[in-house]
Chains A and B, each alone.
Chain A
């Protein structure tokens, strides 16, 4: 108040307080006096008489009622589908109207994959390979999404952040490529996913994040993986266009991926597709899922809602497929897989010295020495190593 008094003496009665307040507002640390002054004149850009929030961090209105936002998990983001469980198109305007050859290609890819899974799973049980993971129940997610991409698009089977970097580089190179990155609902809990989503959004990358939500991460059910509305609900939190689809409906997966691809490249922004599905098989050959889920649950999905069955119903109802073709194709696909398997089995494993290759682009001196030492070791002790199975 002493300052205001002095200013009044200097500037004259009527202007004193206002002018001083003006000056005081410019000096940091003296805001206390300015606030208490009822006649202040404002020359600053933001007027506190105007009630809109000015925070740089959010674009939103004020609210004067204390209210927490309730996460909506009872009625979550709806699941887009094109076919019902009997393979009938529900809304004709969503039918992609794909030609017969293409839809047959979908079907043959999904069933060939299924055949390969059965044979390779068995081969692991027989000790002919060390480890395998099947795709039972999820064939629709793979084939539907892959069919919607261009042959030059980049596919990352995991590695969410790297996928974003690749998308950024693709954007800069102006090559009209999209990057797609697949991951499960379990992997979506990793920090990698958070980093990937946030970078993709802030750096405006042409990328499709494709989450296969199959209900389990090994033995961990979704209720123990997350408490929100799945993965699709996280997208808007990052500013990402998001959709949830029926992963067992290959046309829904196809449509969503196709549209996401078109827009991601045209608009340079990420898309998140959460494909709901069910993991019919075990997590891997090292897993026995009867330890944590009922056989009834698995059977339900196998019998009542399988991507291959639904597509087959669609094909049959159009007259594009029948029992005879089914039998012939099963035989043919089995033969194809068996032949490839046996041919691969006959091959020798690569030369053991390749163990040391490709650590760096060029082999450092130290590594060369270590390779030498293995060679010398094998000269003396080679009989204790399975050298016969390896290339010379």
Chain B
């Protein structure tokens, strides 16, 4: 039997080798020009996938929240969800594929730990997921809904905007769905193309009644997600998918919360204010270093964290000090959230401005596939805009 298996194995390897020679012959014959051939830029030129446009910068370990553990972003999310289900018996998690652990592993282990009535799959229907979540929340139970990609949130747009956001208002506070939190992977990932890369925060910024929150790191994610879950208003929590594995930090094991609607000044500076959220925070951090080295410019870096209601005071206070503002986001320029920030800041800080407010954003196109490296507002584009502002 073993011999048979071994022979079969040898036979198949023989087959594979034959196939390989077959292909090599094809290539040699010029029949497969441009087909399965490596990039022709030298003998060791293999076309690698484009490297990431940022370097994740972990924050120093927090001393204030007890014992910490090394976690990446998705593990920090799991930890937050675990804490939530442990201390709130009404809390349930649901969405497509969450039962086995989720396509990004954010819910691994939770169904086994808390039971199938608390962590469960739903049919493939985003409006159903959100509508169902609203109903759970209306009874007072905690509903944590997952939308598999932020790109798919649009079928649920009516439920979010017309139902969730207005539930408390239209009933004169008789009813509410404040215990609803919607989570969704968000942002560019290198190869996501049109429907796995979107940043839809601007669509929701225009909707009074909900909160929209975007973390830059595992530590921020756990604290902000727990705040969203505790918050008495329906919240959307976007998770930068490119950071799920790439971002690793020491994260407290116990629950803790980071306040919503508070921007964070990551680095103080005097010449220009840089504002971003999510992955883009790491891009502007690098831009700040470049500015210091090459131009001797001192940047103040702000992570907005909550998109709505947003922390107008922190941003304006900073611009009053520096006189210059650069806002950067992956989402397209026109109607992107930078326009709201820009508009408000020029209203509040007009006389303090030394230069027009700059927005470095994605182009007004759908998120492209093969052209992603040219589309995204990378550090070079941000650096160039910064340079122009300094020289204005």
Chain A interfacial positions (CB closer than 8 Å to B): 2-3, 6-7, 10-11, 19-20, 23-24, 27, 30, 154, 156, 159-170, 172-173, 191-192, 194-196, 198-199, 202-203, 357-362, 364-367
Contact = CB atoms under 8 A, between A and B. Distances in A.
B31 interface: no
Contact of B131 (A11, A24, A162, A203): A162
B223 interface: no
Interface in B275-332: 309, 312-313
A162 B125 contact: no
A359 B169 contact: yes
A260 B131 CA distance: 23
B7 A169 contact: no
B134 A364 contact: no
A170 B8 contact: no
Contacts of B261: 364
B123 interface: yes
B136 A7 contact: no
Contacts of B140: 169
B127 A191 contact: yes
B132 A199 contact: yes
A156 B135 CA distance: 10
Interface in B186-235: 208-209, 211, 232-233
27 contacts: A6-B11, A10-B4, A23-B5, A27-B12, A159-B134, A159-B163, A161-B135, A162-B177, A164-B131, A164-B132, A165-B137, A165-B139, A166-B136, A166-B138, A169-B136, A195-B131, A196-B128, A199-B125, A199-B132, A357-B173, A358-B172, A359-B168, A361-B176, A364-B261, A364-B309, A365-B312, A367-B208
B150 interface: no
A359 B131 CA distance: 19
B375 interface: no
Contacts of A156: 135
A358 B128 contact: no
B159 interface: yes
B232 A192 contact: no
Interface residues of B, number: 48
B136 to A, nearest CB: 4
B363 interface: no
B136 A168 contact: yes
B104 interface: no
A7 B8 contact: yes
B135 A173 contact: no
Nearest to A364: B309
Contacts of B185: none
Q: Main SS of chain A's interface residues? A: helix
B132 A165 contact: yes
Contact of A169 (B5, B141, B211, B233): B141
A192 B127 CA distance: 7
B122 interface: yes
Contacts of B313: 365
B143 interface: yes
A37 B23 CA distance: 29
B100 to A, nearest CB: 16
Given A11-B3, A166-B135, A195-B127, 17 more contacts: A3-B8, A6-B11, A27-B8, A162-B135, A162-B163, A164-B135, A165-B131, A165-B137, A167-B135, A168-B132, A169-B139, A169-B140, A172-B141, A173-B139, A198-B128, A360-B211, A364-B261
B127 A360 contact: no
A10 B123 contact: no
Contacts of B64: none
Given A161-B134, A165-B133, A173-B139, A359 B208 contact: yes
Nearest to A2: B11
A195 B8 contact: no
B209 A195 contact: no
